[in-house]
Amino acid sequence: MPARALQLQVDEPQADPQSAFDERRFRQALGRFATGVVVISTGSGERLHAMTANAFMSGSLKPPLIVVSVGHRARMHECLMTTTLFGVSVLSETQEPHSRHFAGEPQNWLAPRFAPVEGLADVVLLDHAAARFAARVVDRHPCGDHTLFVGEVLVFSLDEHAPLIFFGGRYAAVAQSAPMPSA
């Protein structure tokens, strides 16, 4: 069966091409990509700042790099512009309340527990996360209204928890049919 060609409607150029761009529909289209959910953290104690994000990816295996995308208006942006170390906690399927809490929906009953990373002051990672990374900022790339922060992974850990997924504006979980192979 032959593949169907994608039909895109191309309009004539307008004086202001941005006026015709539908940001809401663009956001909905981006939401069709399922992502994991992470909490980015920097600082510790009274200086701890953490935020939920789903713009996270691996950057390289050699050297081990991760990338987070943070909006210019987020407080985390200012923190990552002035710090050298940060953490990323990949949330497990039971940590939806953590995601909401660090996305600006306070969960007053929630008492998030962060564990310090030995030898790395100002890096704390969430307990019970599916994976945790402590990284050193090695590059920053402006990208529209966001900045891509590239971190070299200094320490990481992996748990057997299933990850929390975000798709189409909703949280979901992954159905695991077989145990994950161990490294």
C-beta neighbour count of 91 within 10 angstroms: 28
Residues of the chain with pLDDT under 70: 1-19, 176-183
* Angstrom distances, CA of residue 46 to CA of 43, 115, 119: 8, 14, 19
| pLDDT at residue number 11 | 47
Task: List, in order of start, the domains of the chain with CATH numbers.
Answer: 52-169 (2.30.110.10)
H helices within 103-175, ranges in order?
A: none
**Cβ distance 6 to 17 under 8 Å?**
no
Query: If 0-12 CB within 10 Å is exposed, 13-18 middle and 19+ buried, where does residue 136 land?
Result: middle
| pLDDT at residue number 3 | 54
| pLDDT at residue number 179 | 61
Collapsing DSSP states into helix, strand and coil, what is residue 46?
Answer: helix
Read off the pLDDT of residues 25-52 as tens digits, 9 standing for 90 and up. 988 888 888 899 999 999 988 899 999 9
| pLDDT at residue number 12 | 47
| pLDDT at residue number 31 | 83
- Bridge partners of residue 126, in order along the sequence: 114
Q: Which residue has the tokens 């906690």?
A: 89
